[in-house]
Amino acid sequence: MGRGGAPKDRGDGPDRKCIATGEVQPKFGLIRFVVGPAGQIVPDVLGKLPGRGIYVAADRAALEMAVKKRLFARGAKQAVTLPDDLVAEVERQLARRVVDLISLQRKAGKAVAGYEKVKNWLQMEEAEVLIQAVDGSGRGKSKLSTPHFGHYIGWLTAEELGLAFGRQTVIHGALASGGLTQRVVEEANRLKGVRELMGGNGHPKG
């Protein structure tokens, strides 16, 4: 607990300002970047690379604005170079982070995959988070509901979920409370902000 009985912020430290929007918010809602040895901008999704952090909101429009208006140089107070696929690389790293965290929850016995297992967890109120592949069948996904007071993650692909659960593809998954589940939700929300969601045309694959 922090001062005055407030929950401590898991060591994420103070808030940071987005160089694109100017908004100040907790670090878990931002993407950290650092300047590499050759002056290149490097995404630091895990927040562990050495160097002064430059922060952009976990929002695709904010990232694209930072690139287009060359705001990284201003934030770094020096000339910098940007990779052509910077936004795409941020998305890849975030997706990998979410997959890795779900995998850790699976190994801890706090995640299940497959329609029947997920349905059972929901009925038994074991599930805090319902996860469904963005490219799964809309009809099949509609048969399961987000847990009361729980969370929904619906922007990972079936292949990405498959990686998390050690299978080729997964459409339905669920997470129990505790462990890394809250971190999964936070990282998934960062990914949602950056990812251009598929299936937005009303015709999901599968």
**Whole-number Å distance between alpha carbons of 186 and 168:** 25
User: For the domain bounded by 3-84, which CATH number is listed?
Assistant: 3.30.1230.10
Residue 3 has a pLDDT of 36
Using DSSP bridges, classify how beta strands 151-153 and 127-132 pair: parallel, antiparallel or unpaired: parallel
DSSP-assigned letters across all residues of 156-203: S-HHHHHHHHTSS--SEEEEESSTTHHHHHHHHHHHHHHS--TTTTS-
113-to-147, 149, 153 alpha-carbon distances in Å: 16, 21, 14
CATH 3.30.1330.30, domain 99-194, yes or no: yes
Domain 3-84 and domain 99-194 have a common topology: no
Tally the residues of the chain: 206
Domain residue ranges in the chain: 3-84, 99-194
In 3D space, the residue among 96, 85, 87 whose CA is nearest the CA of residue 46 turns out to be: 96
Tokens standing for 112? 């299940």
94: Cβ contacts below 8 Å, ≥ 6 apart: 31, 45, 58, 187, 190, 191, 194, 195
Residue 140 has a pLDDT of 84
Residue 28 has a pLDDT of 87
Q: Please state the pTM of the whole predicted model.
A: 0.85
Average pLDDT, 10 consecutive residues per value, the chain (206 residues): 38 80 92 95 94 95 96 94 94 97 97 97 96 91 93 97 96 96 96 76 34
